[in-house]
Structure 1
Amino acid sequence: MLIGDVARRSGVSTRMLRHYDALGLVRPTGRTAGGYREYSAEDVRRIFHVESLRSLGLSLKQIGRALEDPAFTPSALVGDLIRWTEERLAREQELLERLRAIDTSAPAGWQDVLRIVALMRELDSTSAARRNQAVLAGSEGAPVPAELLARAVLDESDPHVAGALRWALARSDGDGRAVLGAGTRSEDVAVRRRAVLAITEMPGAPGAAAVLEGALGDADATVRRHAALALGRQGVTAAVPELVGMVVEGSNDVEAAEVLGALSREPGCAERITAALADALAAPAADSATRIRLTQALVELEGAPAQEVLHHLTRDDDPAVALVATALAGVIEERPPDVP
């Protein structure tokens, strides 16, 4: 079969067939009396073999190795293809996200596009100082896309740069909540922590409270604590169990106690918080240090129920608890009536 016939039947151009011949991939086994290339049925099958491998993304050099090297197994080839494809898709996904960030910013001209691209390049720097400088410099110019800032927050491991990014995001006009919300569902606990911390610094964002309430069920204690403190400050009583748990564990217990005190001013909430603290005080596993922290938390609460529990603790079997309760009860009694 002459080269023109092969090209028509295989869909491979005569130019490519000659290139395959020059590379040694598919050399016609025969020649006509006039010196023209003549392909056998086996040659045609090899052409289709080459085209199949090309469709998987292999280079011609890789195809030549696959066809000629007995040690080049299909499993190794497929494994390499999977890795190359995953890397390519990751690059394309990153490009897509950057294009969306630019599109979200509604650039008025090429100067805006170039400014955002320059910021993206700086945020990819290996230098934390350069990344931090880029965030601060970007915030002084035209608005930076909130989606871009939110994605950078999720990726940033340096605490100083992360703080600058959260600050810039909180004061941006856009909405990075969707990106941050997706971050709270990441398999990477570090990403979830960054996402929740960023959301706590933009409490007025639509839907932020709902995302934080979902974070109360996170497997990671740090994520739950960030969410509980932020929700408690917003008057969301769903945070009470986690806040009480923080007092028990001694993790940001002073801050948690203050938030519980503010929540106790919500209608019908004081008795619930007092009961939760009393239950924790009576728990068999509560040691002296834990019970002292719980006793100290009681003094932050509004209402007679908390004061009753506190006075009861002045006669506690643990001398240290009784001493702390007695001192705090005295402080409460000395408060002016209008002081909470």
Structure 2
Amino acid sequence: MEWLRIGEVARRTGLTHRTLRHYDDLGLLVPSGRSGGDYRLYAPEDLDRLLAIQHLKSLGMGLDEIGRALDDPGFDASQALERHVALVEGRIAAEQELLDRLHRLREASGSWEEVLDAIALTERLRHPDAWVRFRAALEAPTAAPLADLLDVLRGEPEPGVREVVTWAIVQHGPEALDAVVAGLADDDPAVRRQFAHVLGKMADPAAVPALVGLLGDEPEVAAKAAFGLGQVGGPDAVAALTGMLGSGVSGVRATVVTALGGLGAAAVEAVLGRLGSASATARADAAEVLGALADERSVPGLAGLLADPEEDVRITALMALGAIGGAEAAAAIVSVRGAEGRTGAVARRLAP
């Protein structure tokens, strides 16, 4: 058997004498022999173990863990690898975040003074004190890199800070739209809801398709998207909202009704078209919207609902006619004063 002294092992492997002695002290790589002068002597199987140590070390494993892996028959390799996968993924994410930040600084800055100012602003946006974060977004909305503002918005716990960061993002204008739309793909519904809120604040017609795509999302996200469509307005927003009448949970329905009610005369014709829906819930919601719009063009359609088979629809139509007012609406209300049940009672209360 060929024995190798520590110097030869160091020469062949590139490791230092100190490293090999350290492995020996730890019991990780104990030489199989000793010379008469008490020099360490390494056998071929020692070199095989050293190779295994180096391979495992290249995976990021610590020396203690490597020792257990080589000496403990019950050592679970899959769990160890899973731990190291998570650690490496975390390091990669951190490095990617750093790289993204460097790119943003490079694009936004022309001098070291500007770089330092941008770093200081970013640090203030992430300060533990909510008031500091609030002031940072408020005082320098367009100086703050858009990507930093979006990152802050994703994790901001304070409603007041979220609102001023939203305002700061809106100040970046059309360039922010694509970045905000991309944020709607986030797995967290709270983040999707917040980004839908930003799109509503932008009031850009280009945001309508993205908001429409959220109407089938979880209720809190769908409701915020409906609210945003009401803020943006326009024919496409009206069409999407009228299509939602009678749909979804009560919170979403209420938001759709409120959003349409705030769109004024532009929504009247589309909502009138929903009075003939096969869904009683949609007919009632449409009637409620028309009452909020208070447009006299709605009176004939609402009067037709006073003969609806569903009492809730009749009652909602009566309330809408009362909100609109005028002679024609009053005549429609009077026509059902003699009806039985709640319909007649409401008509008698509303009749002039």
TM-score by length of 1: 0.78
Are the structure 2 counterparts of residues 171 and 130 from structure 1 closer, same or farther at C-alpha, using a change threshold of 3 Å?
Answer: same
Are the structure 2 counterparts of residues 171 and 238 from structure 1 closer, same or farther at C-alpha, using a change threshold of 3 Å?
Answer: closer
Aligned to 2:195: 195
Contact 1:180 1:199 in 2 (8 A): yes
Shift of 1:322: 5.5
Aligned to 1:91: 94
- Report whether the alignment pairs 1:24 with 2:23: no
Contact 1:131 1:161 in 2 (8 A): yes
Contact 1:169 1:176 in 2 (8 A): yes
Are the structure 2 counterparts of residues 147 and 203 from structure 1 closer, same or farther at C-alpha, using a change threshold of 3 Å?
Answer: farther
Partners of 2:124 and 2:89 in 1: CA distance: 25
Aligned to 2:167: 167
Partners of 1:16 and 1:312 in 2: CA distance: 92
Aligned to 2:233: 234
The letter of the residue matching 2:213 is G
Aligned to 1:313: 305
Look up the SS of the partner of 1:311 in the other structure.
Answer: helix
For residues 69-90 of structure 1, the C-alpha deviation after alignment (integer angstroms, 9 at most, x for no partner) is 5554323322321332233233
Are the structure 2 counterparts of residues 322 and 122 from structure 1 closer, same or farther at C-alpha, using a change threshold of 3 Å?
Answer: closer
- Report whether the alignment pairs 1:109 with 2:101: no
1:6-25 matches, cutoff 5 A:
6-25=9-28
Q: Unaligned 5+ residue runs, structure 2?
A: 330-352
Contact 1:170 1:202 in 2 (8 A): yes
Are the structure 2 counterparts of residues 74 and 253 from structure 1 closer, same or farther at C-alpha, using a change threshold of 3 Å?
Answer: closer
The letter of the residue matching 1:212 is L
1:9-88 matches, cutoff 5 A:
9-69=12-72, 72-88=75-91
Look up the SS of the partner of 1:53 in the other structure.
Answer: helix
Are the structure 2 counterparts of residues 325 and 131 from structure 1 closer, same or farther at C-alpha, using a change threshold of 3 Å?
Answer: closer
Aligned to 1:331: 326
Aligned to 1:337: none
Partners of 1:296 and 1:326 in 2: CA distance: 10
Contact 1:32 1:38 in 2 (8 A): yes
Tell me how large the CA RMSD over aligned residues is: 3.3
Partners of 1:61 and 1:135 in 2: CA distance: 47
Aligned to 1:258: 261
The letter of the residue matching 2:125 is L
Aligned to 1:120: 122
Are the structure 2 counterparts of residues 110 and 56 from structure 1 closer, same or farther at C-alpha, using a change threshold of 3 Å?
Answer: same
The letter of the residue matching 2:169 is L
Aligned to 1:147: 147
Partners of 2:73 and 2:172 in 1: CA distance: 59
Contact 1:237 1:263 in 2 (8 A): no
Are the structure 2 counterparts of residues 219 and 204 from structure 1 closer, same or farther at C-alpha, using a change threshold of 3 Å?
Answer: closer
Partners of 2:315 and 2:295 in 1: CA distance: 24
Contact 1:264 1:302 in 2 (8 A): no
Are the structure 2 counterparts of residues 92 and 312 from structure 1 closer, same or farther at C-alpha, using a change threshold of 3 Å?
Answer: same
Partners of 2:75 and 2:273 in 1: CA distance: 70
Aligned to 1:132: 134
Partners of 1:132 and 1:69 in 2: CA distance: 54
The letter of the residue matching 2:326 is V
- Report whether the alignment pairs 1:295 with 2:287: yes
Look up the SS of the partner of 1:251 in the other structure.
Answer: helix
For residues 72-129 of structure 1, the C-alpha deviation after alignment (integer angstroms, 9 at most, x for no partner) is 4323322321332233233223323332332332x12223222332333333344433
Aligned to 1:156: 156
Partners of 1:29 and 1:61 in 2: CA distance: 20
Q: Unaligned 5+ residue runs, structure 1?
A: 335-340
Partners of 2:287 and 2:325 in 1: CA distance: 13
The match for 1:283 among 271, 279, 284 is: 279
The letter of the residue matching 1:235 is G
Look up the SS of the partner of 1:103 in the other structure.
Answer: helix
TM-score by length of 2: 0.75
Are the structure 2 counterparts of residues 86 and 3 from structure 1 closer, same or farther at C-alpha, using a change threshold of 3 Å?
Answer: same
**Count of aligned pairs between the two proteins:** 317
Partners of 1:113 and 1:262 in 2: CA distance: 50
Partners of 2:79 and 2:189 in 1: CA distance: 33
Are the structure 2 counterparts of residues 190 and 89 from structure 1 closer, same or farther at C-alpha, using a change threshold of 3 Å?
Answer: same
Partners of 2:110 and 2:174 in 1: CA distance: 16
Shift of 1:62: 3.0
